[in-house]
Structure 1
């Protein structure tokens, strides 16, 4: 079942409790439309039919969310991209000191030499 974000659920619980306290202090028996709307939203958000069950489920969910490791929002993430793998065409692009092969050229030469050897003669890399 999908659950709302803990901050959204906390806001709904707080709003419900505030509206309920206001209604009790005003001593009215008919519920306000906003209180009914928040109660309905809590029930739908928690997958329950009764507001008492919705509040219990929300509190359990919020308690678990408070002890769970924090997950940063996607916008806060930084993605580390690994450099592209060298291919034969990019292997020669690394400059070498005069008289030496570049790392890419040496790898390419080694791979070519291994491929040219017969199957039974190949050495382990």
Structure 2
């Protein structure tokens, strides 16, 4: 499987987190579509099928992530 560059993953995580903090799911259709697009791209980049798994997988692929670090599994 191809691996996304850590900089790309970091950017996608930041975009998704920002959209979630701003409650994009309740925003305009364009904003909702952007959130869906970022979630889809995260899933494709990590080889997962849902955004929660994609976020965990992406964070594990970032430099400095440790497999035993369970803080990556918490929902914020």
- TM-score, with structure 1 as normaliser: 0.45
Aligned partner of 2:40 in structure 1 is 40
Aligned length: 63
> For residues 94-115 of structure 1, what are the alpha-carbon distances to aligned partners after superposition, in whole Å with 9 as ceiling and x for unaligned?
xxxxxxxxxxxxxxxxxxxxxx
Secondary structure class of the residue paired with 1:19? helix
Q: Measure how far apart 1:23 and its partner are.
A: 1.2
Flag the structure with larger Rg. Answer: 1
Runs of 4+ in 1 over 4 A off after TM superposition: none
Higher helix fraction (1 or 2): 2
Q: Measure how far apart 1:17 and its partner are.
A: 0.3
Aligned partner of 1:18 in structure 2 is 18
Rounded to whole Å, the distance in 1 between the matches of 2:8 and 2:60 is 15
Q: Measure how far apart 1:66 and its partner are.
A: 3.1
- TM-score, with structure 2 as normaliser: 0.73
Unmatched 5+ stretches in structure 2: 66-76
Unmatched 5+ stretches in structure 1: 68-125
Rounded to whole Å, the distance in 2 between the matches of 1:66 and 1:2 is 20
Q: Which moved more, 1:12-21 or 1:30-39?
A: 30-39
Answer yes or no: is the 8 Å Cα contact 2:26–2:32 preserved in 1. no
- CA RMSD in angstroms comes to 2.1
Matched, 1:66 2:64: yes
